[in-house]
Amino acid sequence: MNQQTIDAINTLGNFCGKRDIEELTSSALTEKYNTPQADIFVLFGGSIICGGDVLAQKIREELN
């Protein structure tokens, strides 16, 4: 693999792997984005598996 390809992969990884908040809570969303809830979530293929689990848990908590 050439250096240009490696650099491009690392650029994509840094962009897609960004974590905007430390925990998925109303207070963290309010502090960062001035809103208590998110209307949409985007998980890229590079997301770690537990990212989907965290999202599912928070959705279940809101529905209960």
Helix H, strand E, coil C: the string for 4-54 is HHHHHHHHHHHHHCCCCCCCCCHHHHHHHHCCCCCCCCCCCCCCCHHHHHH
Q: Does 33 have pLDDT greater than 60?
A: yes
With 0.75 as the threshold, say if the pTM is over it.
Answer: no
22 within 8 A of 28, measured Cβ to Cβ? yes
Mean pLDDT estimate for the chain: 78
Tokens of 6: 């490696």
**Residue type, position 9, single letter:** I
Per-domain boundaries in the chain: 18-63
Q: Could you report the per-residue pLDDT of 34-57, keeping only the tens digit for each?
A: 988 877 776 666 566 677 787 788
Give the pLDDT band of residue 3 (cuts 50, 70, 90).
very high
